[in-house]
Amino acid sequence: MEAQELTVTVEKALDEIRPFLISDGGNISLVSIQDNIVKVKLEGACVGCSINQMTLRNGVEASVKKHAPQIEKVIDISSIM
- Tell me, what CATH number does 64's domain have? 3.30.300.130
Q: Does the predicted TM-score (pTM) go above 0.85?
A: yes
57 lies in some domain = yes
46 lies in some domain = yes
pLDDT of residue 68: 96
* Each residue's pLDDT tens digit, 25-76: 999 999 999 999 999 999 998 888 888 888 899 999 999 999 999 999 999 9
* Each residue's pLDDT tens digit, 4-27: 999 999 999 999 999 999 998 999
**Spatial CB neighbours of 66, under 8 Å, sequence gap ≥ 6:** 13
pLDDT of residue 46: 87
Q: Which domain holds residue 58?
A: 3-76
Residue 80 in this model has a pLDDT that exceeds 90? no
Other beta carbons within 10 angstroms of residue 5's beta carbon come to 10
81 lies in some domain = no
User: Is the distance from CB of 21 to CB of 27 less than 8 angstroms?
Assistant: yes
* Number of compact structural domains in the chain: 1
Dist CA 51 CA 56 (whole Å): 9
71 lies in some domain = yes
60 lies in some domain = yes
43 lies in some domain = yes
